Every structure is written in structure tokens, then in C-alpha cells.
Chains A and B, each alone.
Chain A
């Protein structure tokens, strides 16, 4: 951490104000990307950073609303370092704004260490392999796309789908199968969300008693959109503090990452940058990576940082740059489906495009159940075949199908109604039992992803005979 130097102040240097960009005459020694506080005549302090600097000029990118600023009376302060966030024990239980200032009427945050909000890249060599299976109670996740501590696993959702409810359900149930852990903490970052969404999360956490173990960062839809660029970073800095300084297992829920990306597009546009796809800047991938890559485990440190970002896919399009680039960075994705939601399936998880890349490290012998990976793979194979048969049936009618295909269609329907849909949280064992039942309805000879022993152990007793 660079030492604090006396605050430099510059009054009357403002020359031009254009969108979020403030052009100043350079009268002080400041470096690129250093933090800036811009104070208007209204006394409001707005955060910003140095976006470009040359001998004469200084371009400041305002990360909070410029409304109310004028040129002659604006004062700019330079702390002489990149943006930092001061944190200390006692941050849990607090509700903060998008840049970490108390919203709950409580005292200022206690500060025992100051961390750079951009973080520094974590050395891959220092990373520990995430492999502690987290039971979320959601079958589509636990059984089919397991989540492990230190993973970044986003929910790919869309307007009107119950992603918030799923996130709350996961936050409420998430537990390790072995130990009780009281070192669990939740960091919630609301990025450009509606007031009622924020309220929903706050009351849900309160009702489940998790609020004292949580810290909320709220940038609401009505707040400055440029501030959205900071909210995930402040939240992750707090999460890193909780995980790697206090040694807790932190689950970070960030919603809505699409709003974050749109804010980035807005700022890039104001800077006059050449856009890549759909107006988003070419560095959207790197920028998102600088957020998502902050999940993980560090060798020799007790805590972990798990991310559950939520993003809404514009027009339900998974090829849109935001879900597309996110999927390239995160360690899998849980995709929600509108048609399952319409059919009344809760949680409406479309397992086919869903994936957990770290599942292989946290499941199977010694982690969950020795047969867990093979079971998941077999379910995938069978459900994919069901989806294919369903497609075929839609064109040629069910009569045009082979017997086998009809059996798969039935399997697909039961899979959605009995395995994906659930009223209560399930343990992994309950999920697995339900899944073996379903597979027993298929001919044993076709279960090529299962070994003979697995069939003998789980399928044959349920099918009431020896598999072919």
C-alpha cells in the first residue's frame, strides 16, 4: 500500500465537463488512475479517478453523478493513490451505499486496514484448488452442476425470472456437508437494482437471521450509473477483507452484472472509444475478469471467496456480449429458462446449457459420493436425448418416433417435474435417490455412462430385475 501523502487540492482548474469526464488544467503532480475527490459548491463529495494525464491537462472520470457541479467553484482533491477502501471488524451487519458509505444511520466503518479497490492480480501459483462441495439444497446445482468454495458461478437469468429467489434460497441453505461453519459471511452487491429488489434481499436476510453475518452494498437504479463501476469493487474488497484477513468463507452475491456492463458502455461511449460488439468496449472481457477472477482460495489462508453473480440476458439471448463474455470467464453458469418458469417449475433451471467447471474437483470419491459424477453424466446424456426426441416429436409427431424415443420423452418430462422441480431444499442424498429412480425407467443397456456395478447397485433393485 503506498503511503498516504498530504491531500493535494486544486481549485478553479476545471475547464470542461462532458458527461462523466471532467477536464482540468494540470497544476499538480498526479499519476494515472489515481483517486480523485471532486467537491462541488453543494459540498457533495464525488469519487473519480484520473483517466488520462499529460503535461497540460488532466482528465478525471467522475464515478458519481456530475449534476450540481460547476466549473469555477469545483474543488478537486488528490489523495495521491488509487482508490482504497478502509475496513475493519464490525463491517458485518452493515448496509452501505455503492461506494461503502453507511446508509443505515450507523457509525462510520471502523478501519484497521486500507485495501485497494481494484485489487492486484492473484498469482496463480498462490491459488489453492477449490474443492469443498457446498450443498445449496437445489438439485439442479448440487447433483448436476455442483458449486464449490472459491468458485465463481453466475446465474444467467432474464427479466421476470426468479433469480433473486434462487439466490436467497442458496444463501439461506448453503452449507458444507461435513462441518458446521460459523465462519460464513454474505456480501451482497446491488448494482443498479430496483429499490424493491434491494428490500427483498435485505428482508430475506433479516428473516433468516443472516443479516448480522452480511454486509450490503447498494447502488440503486436511481443512483449514478457511473458509480456502478465501483460497487462490485468495493463489495469485493470487503469480501477479500472478510475472507483473507478475517478468515471467513464469504459468498458474494452481485446483481445485476448487466447493469454494470451497461454503465461501462456508457462511460466508454463518453470517452469516445471505439466499441467492439453492441456498443460495449473491446476491454469488457478484461474488465469483467478483473471482477470475477477475485473469487478463489489462497494457499495458507483460511478463508474463501465464492461468487454468485446474477446477470439478466437482454432478450433472453445467451449470445449477448454480457452473458457470453461472463461465461468465458466464470467457472460455469446456471441458466434459467423461461419455458420451465411458465410451466411452473421452480427453480426453473435449464440444465443443458448450465455447467459447473469445478464440479470434477469437488465431487466423487472422498468428496461427495463415489457414484455422483457418473450419475450426473448419465442424467445429462439421457436428458439431452430426451430434448432431441422432443424436438423430433414437435416436427413429425410422437407417432413418428421409435419406442426408444418415446421412452426418453417420458423420461424428460419426469426429469423436469420430479427432479428439477422441488418444493423443499434437498440433501444431495435425496437428490441422488430421486435421480436413480428416474434412470430405472430407462433400459439398462442404454445407460452407457454407468458401470455394471453402478447399475447393479442402484438401477437393478429399482427396475425390479437384472439390467440387460
Chain B
């Protein structure tokens, strides 16, 4: 391994004179503390490196040791349930509450292992050679993606340490390689797959406004831009707790320590409905908080996505949640500035766009090397300065994601959560998941209707929201009292839709997550309400009378009051609603309550 001698140091940027060859991207260690870094530039016999740790005290003359390989992380079953810094060094089990720079060892754990292959079996790259009992999940030991050959030794079933040799393989070239429960992989290189597949099923988030209006598919990619306090973190945390992925990788990138601590505590306390074990057993937390070294923030995103790909390669659906990608971009900017690179828009380096593209490109549903199906779904929050979506990180991100969940400060101020702005948000995955949703509708009491009910209802809802915005603008000119009855009804319906369907508190015991069936039922009952409302109008009722129906309050509190799986409650609500409207028609038919501007359809 090559060595070099430190020439100069400023912030995370170190220059050194080389005594041997160094490669671009090679990992290195500096000084006695062994600070970790990476080569970012080579010129003659000088190298420039970015260091991932606090460089206080580093001085000219300090020894630099090349590691002969790029920045790698160890991937194995014991990642699950753990919390790591941006370089995947463990954060739990440290003596001091404060993090000092320097090396930290990965604690070794034991798992029960069962071989899947026998001596003499040929193995292909990425093939599972054993099973591990991972608690909540049934995991596989994989042959590293670039290794193949024949098994010449494999241990019997039993409990083993996660760093000991479990098998040996002879490559076609005749060399022997050791296989263990885990292996190392360079974080900046996507792990290979057999092929990429089109998306078809949604990643269920448990958030109605997302699943119904702006779905993201398994293998899809979504961005959550929003100013401070609009609900990015709470939304990502809610997804971490209740989305339908098998494995969750949560990357806290340059955000608050208290949030990470809270997420960790909650994941440990929550019981996973699938396995009855703590939810944390399906989760990996990568935490590089805002006060931890900046350069490691840049690496943390890559570590996270590499972990996600590793579990995907075992045939699992993985969601990577990154909060916030803007902090990652800022870390790029900071290091780039220290390297004296030419700044582009907003001071960000010119390669910001391509780095974002590379990152989001790692989202996919795939056939793994072993022939199974797995997916990585990427969900990243974006923190635009002053909430302005035209800034470079948001605008680049917009080009690479398929689902865009824009958060709106006005909604957040009214404590209307999730503060998704339905007019700015979109999803390109809606068509892909429509069939999946139709199956949910078909399984409801009463079965599925004609055509795709989900598609029809979703379109109605989106149209209603559009109309609401248009009428809101109009009211600002002519006054609300000048609106026609159908227009006033539209505004009323939109309000009911907002309160009764879109709004969903992440802290409500009943409503923090909403199952697919309940979403379908709520959507359906809303559709019935829209029909009944219009019908009532044609028979002479006025919107104010509809607004006064007590059943509206029930409709607007469905999220709080009806639990997942309570079909009876929905049936009761529907009956109550039909009765209320029937009574209303009875009254408005006989009384003079209808306002003069109501459509004179009462005659018909």
C-alpha cells in the first residue's frame, strides 16, 4: 500500500506528497488517529484528499496511508437494527456521549446459519449459499457479485459469528476465496443486477394523499421538497414506520440529532405487525447529523443506497428514506469550494445535476443476479432555501424523480398535515399501479364497479381540487356570495375532501397509517357523497343546507373515528348519509329553503 506525507491542511481538504501510486477515489488514513479520507484529485506526485472527520490538529508531515481500494462498506445481516454514522461506523455502544474522530470497530454478532449448497455445487455471482435467521426477516448469505466458481467447503448448520469463514469457493482461475455472512462493497458503485423490471405495485405509504393521489411504485423514486417546518421529516418518519417495504434504510443526512434519537426510540418501541418483533429489526439507521463532519454527510447517502441494494439482492423490497438530500448537496458544494472548483448556480459545483441523476438512477425493481425479484425505492426530502422550488437542488431533483410531493407552507401553518400541495404534486407511477388498486376495490363489500373505480375516483378528486383553486381565485374577485350554488357546493365538497380524506395526522393513534382497504372505502364513500350532493342540488337543496347536515362532521372525522378493517362502520356511515340526504330532499322539496340562485332543477 502506498504512503504519502501531508503537505497542507485546511478544513476537510488535505494535500500530500506521494511516495507511491495512489488511485482516484482510493480510501486513505491520516495520522496516528487514522482519520479516514478519499483521494479526490491527483496531480504529479501530489494528491488531494477529502477527509471525513474533524481535522483539528492534523499537521504538515503527518503520514498518509493508502488503503489500496475505494471507500468500501461491510454489508451483512447485522446491519439490521443498528445505527451508524455516515461511514457506517456503529454509533451505539460507545463509551462517551460525544463522538471523537478516529476508527471504531464493528461489533461482531452471531446468527444461526443454514447452508443452501453442498460441496461441489457450482455458484454464480450473487447467488445465495446460506440462510440466516434475521429475526423479523429470513435473510440470505450472498456470494459477492463478482465472484463465481465451485463450493469446495461449507460449514454445517449452526450458530456462527458474522465475520468467520462459512464456505470456500474455487474460482475458474483456480484460486480459493472465503465466503462469510457478509462482504464488502465500494459505496459509489451500484451493485449489478440481471435486469431492471417495469414497476407495477405501489409502495404503500399508509398516507392517503400519497397512495391515492400521488403514488410511488416499488422501485420508484420520489422527492419531498418543502421549506422548514412543512413536514418533510415527520412524513419520512411516518413512512419508515408504516410503509410496505420489507427493509427500511433511513438516512439522516445533516439534520437534527433529536430527530434521529426520537426515530430510533420509536422504531425500537413499535411492534412490527408482520412479525410481532420490534420494527427496528427491519430497519437500518444511518445518521450523520448537522453537527457531524460535513464530508461524511456526502458519503452517507451512498452508504445508505448501497445497503438498500444489498438487501434488494436478497429478493426484498427496500425503501431508502433520505432526509435531506439538500444537505448532501451542500456537502458537495462545501468540499468543491475548498478544492477551488469553478462554482456553478448557487455556488454548487457544475456536476450537481449528474450526481443527483446517478443517485436516483439506483432506484429500480430488478431481477437479481440470483434470479429473484427485489426493489429499491428512493424517497428523498429536499430543503429549498426560503422554500423556493426554483433553486438548483429542487429543480435538478424534479427532473429525475417520478413522484413529486410538494409541501406547502400555508397548509403547514394551518396545521393541515400532511401539507402536500395537491396542485403542485404529481406522480408518473399512477398508471402503473392502477390495476393493483382495482383489485383492492374489487375485494370491498359490493365488489368492483365498472371500469377501474380507483382511476375514476382519483380523477374526480383531482378535478375537484383543481376546481376549488379556480373558484377560490374567482371568489377573490367577485366575493363568495356571488358564487352560484353548484360552485358553492364544489367548495363545500372540496372542504370535506380536505378534512375527511387528505388530512391525516401522523400522531393520531388511529390514523397515523391508513391501510389500502380503508383508503379505498374512504374514497368510495366520498364519491357517494359527491353524487348525493349533486343530486340534492338538482332537487332543490342549497349547499348551505348540505353543509348543515350533521353527517358531514362524521364524514370529516372518518380518519379519526373508523379503524382499518371496520367494514360495518363504513356501511353504517353510508346508510346514515343516504338517510340524511333523503330527509334533506324531502324538506327542500316542500319548503322555500332553496335560495333563488339555486338551479331551478327542482321543477324536474
Contacts and interface: CB of A to CB of B under 8 A. Distances in A.
B337 A31 contact: no
Contacts of A376: 415
B85 to A, nearest CB: 9
B487 interface: no
B256 A331 contact: yes
A122 B60 contact: no
A83 B150 CA distance: 59
Given A125-B264, A127-B258, A285 B8 contact: no
B83 interface: yes
A276 B475 contact: no
Contacts of A129: 258, 261-262, 265
27 contacts: A30-B59, A53-B59, A82-B57, A121-B292, A124-B258, A129-B261, A274-B343, A274-B347, A283-B330, A283-B334, A286-B290, A290-B290, A293-B290, A294-B291, A319-B386, A321-B385, A331-B258, A353-B409, A355-B229, A380-B414, A381-B414, A384-B416, A392-B479, A395-B476, A400-B478, A401-B479, A401-B480
The main secondary structure of chain B at its interface with chain A is mixed
A225 B319 CA distance: 47
A120 B257 CA distance: 13
B334 A286 contact: yes
Contacts of A282: 330, 333-334, 337, 347
A126 interface: yes
B10 interface: yes
Contact count band on B: 35 or more
Nearest to A446: B553
A395 B261 CA distance: 47
Interface residues of A, number: 85
Interface of A: 2, 26, 29-34, 51-55, 81-82, 118-130, 150, 273-277, 282-283, 285-286, 289-290, 293-294, 296, 298-299, 301, 318-321, 324-325, 327-329, 331-333, 352-353, 355, 357-358, 360-361, 373, 376-377, 380-381, 384-385, 392, 395-397, 399-402, 405, 445, 448, 451, 468
B73 to A, nearest CB: 19
B389 to A, nearest CB: 13
Interface in B5-21: 7-11, 15
Contact of B553 (A52, A128, A445): A445
Contacts of A325: 385
B92 interface: yes
Contacts of A290: 290-291
A324 B60 contact: no
Contact of B9 (A32, A352, A380): A32
> What 3 pairs between A and B have smallest CB-CB spacing?
A400-B479, A54-B8, A319-B386
Contact of A448 (B261, B383, B557): B557
Given A54-B7, A121-B98, A32 B290 contact: no
A109 to B, nearest CB: 23
Contacts of B15: 54
Interface in B66-116: 83, 91-92, 94, 96-100
A380 B415 contact: yes
A331 B229 CA distance: 9
B156 interface: no
Interface string B283-299: 00001011110100000
Contacts of B264: 124-125
A405 B480 CA distance: 9
Interface string B389-410: 0000000000000000000011
B499 A32 contact: no
A333 to B, nearest CB: 8
Nearest to A34: B57
B387 A319 contact: yes
Contacts of B476: 392, 395-396
Contacts of B481: 399-402
Contacts of A121: 98-99, 257, 289, 291-292
A389 B264 CA distance: 42
Contact of A123 (B57, B98, B258): B98
Given A127-B261, A129-B258, A396-B478, A32 B333 contact: no
B477 interface: yes
B477 A396 contact: yes
B415 A381 contact: yes
A29 B59 contact: yes
Given A54-B15, A282-B330, 12 more contacts: A33-B55, A54-B60, A82-B56, A126-B94, A286-B290, A290-B291, A296-B257, A357-B229, A381-B416, A384-B410, A396-B477, A401-B479
Contacts of A385: 414
B58 interface: yes
A296 B385 CA distance: 26
